[in-house]
Structure 1
Amino acid sequence: MNNFLAHTFTKKAFEQLASIRNQYSVSIYLPMYKKGKELNEGLGQSNLKSCLKKVHAVLVEYGYDKSSVNDYLKPIRNLIFELSFWRNPSEGLAIFLDKDKGMRCYKLPFPFEIKTYVADHFYLFPLLPLFHNNGIYYLLELSRDYVKLYKGSRNNFRDIPIKKIIPKQLEEVVGFDFEQKMLQYRTGHMMYPAGSFHGQGEGKEDEKKELLSFFRKINRGVTKMISDKKAPLILACTDELYPVYKKINSYHKLWDTNLSGDPEFKGTNELHKASWSLIQYYFETKKREKLAKFISKFHTSLTTCQLSEIIPAAVKGKIDTLFVQQKEDVFGTYNSAKGCLILDSYKEMRNISLLNMAAINTFLQGGNVYFLEAEEMPVKNIPMNALLRF
């Protein structure tokens, strides 16, 4: 099968798809179903069959050779019957087909509205949420005998090998008398829970020194391994251990709240969901700042909600931030040489999605693109609002 399948989608992949200009390029988006009745009844395959039927009709309408259209769509049709593909679903599926590269499909971590699009380019703006409000963060699982480091974002979460750089347990730092000391400490000879260092006594002081030494070595290793120094670091640990680690921490963006509980007994998916929930507000700061700036600059030349101004501004790289209303689309044509914009009420062969065009141009030229619910839009009942650079 001539397709490229991936569970991740990089900016480089986006740029490559955006550069393609090939008549009869096909884009298909649909949700996959990870569990329940929809998965058991094959609703994902059924939706793809319906999309394929619609694309077939559009290709014929647009002038594709009737005798060749079935062969062209064969890779997508084959995908419908590949049961192993559907038994390992993600939240959403994006499929791209053109005459030169064949089919590429991506299982992605959020569901899409069902969408088909045929033009001389791909329909890519549903993918842009992958690159916004999706910042990188690190998660350090921490206990006396279990240490693990993860790199995460809204849609991805993977562990980072720490062998030889970060000690995995206290014993590696304090030596082989650790087990005997810990046995005494944990069987009631010490009257304090793990991580508590109040009062006097040689045992408690030894334990405190050993733990601090252990955490210092972890801190040095973690600081070395964090490649993106702007990324926050979250600790997944018990509430008793967090202030101890915080005391020796030298990384400048340690998150001020730990993910509470013993991380060793949490699955990777649970850690990802809980850590993103903890850090999500931090990554939405930029969006809130841009919305506030739009409102403060309203009625100036730095904001617009007119499509006749937004489309040429996007093409010329003048847009700092584009706000797009969810589930909206606008079709038409734009002649950049003449500065002429014509709007249509539906998609046809000669026109394009203007939202797709504006969003892709904004993103590829360093601007921000945010998808908002209707009630969140700065100017209501308008599909696009733009904050301009100049």
Structure 2
Amino acid sequence: MNQQPDSTRLNGFSDNANAQYAPYQAQPTGQPYWQQPTYGAQYAAAMQPQKKSRGWIVALVAVVLLFAFLFATLASCNSVMMGASSSMLGTGTQSAVDSLSEDAVGVITIDGTIAYDGTTASPEGLKAQLDRAENNPHIKVVVLRVNSGGGTATAGEEMACYVEGFSKPIVVSSASMNASAAYEISSQADYIFTAKTTAIGAIGTAMQVTDLSGLLDKLGITIENITSADSKDSSYGTRPLTEEEREYYQSMVDVINETFMETVASGRSLSMEQVRALATGLTYTGIEAVQNGLADEIGTREDAIAKAAELAGMRTYAVVSLEPDSDDLSDLVGLLSSSKMSNEDVIERLKELNGNGPQH
């Protein structure tokens, strides 16, 4: 009774049966066959002919259908959200701008630090949208929605030149802040709106040089700069400035700030004496800015749009948003793959689909 079954009896059965039977041959328990109930049950099951499973085909079809459903859902949500955004905010998508058939006000948002980052808060980004408005016969006027505390002086200078050279009227709508380089840009517009509590102005220039030499000494760190000229390492922060270097940098700041003031004086039709008196480096409230000539009127974004339409002689018009092209679906997929997002985060993102050198 303790004899193991003849392996020839397994002929014609699947390899799986041999695999299930083999462990019992390799691990005898020393007990009589009839005292091994689990052995007998498993061996009997192994002796049954095995049916080929087609479950993987069903699983593959299910995965394909799932991806198709998700793609269709995302595309649908994107379309709905962009449409809702356009209708609620009065703005248009890329295709809406290009397919305009009526006169329109184009809105460009300058938000964040003025820099060279390709957004509409940069020279390249702003010029691209101004050129787009310039070349579209239906866009008669532009509103700049500004919410920025300034940034790189040279970027602000370039952007101010682009606004000054634009052939169509430009109206500025100031949000919570319109300061320094952002105000230099705004000063070239035809009309400036501000809220009563907007921080606006801050005409001034700053350059920062950090001296870490005292801290390095305390840490026992010595840094030697090998330079081609004595002042080449003046901005490295490893030693204090000399008096000559401090005077040099001060002269540079004064020259840059003089250009800033000249730009404001020209754009706002103020004298250099008036602008110099206002160039304290500090911001003014919107109320003060209207009083001292840095702004024209207290008003909202909608007031700015209405004024723009008036300057362009339009009674009926559309309002379209001018902004850089973006692939919303790709942005969403990138976020999903690079971060841990909850269902609520995904929903919010779907709803949202539709900023070195001298500083001003």
Query: Max radius of gyration: which structure?
Result: 2
Which category of TM-score, normalised to the shorter sequence, fits these structures? under 0.3
More relative contact order in 1 or in 2 (CA 8 Å, sep 6+)? Answer: 2
TM-score normalized by structure 1?
0.20
TM-score normalized by structure 2?
0.21
Higher helix fraction (1 or 2)? 2
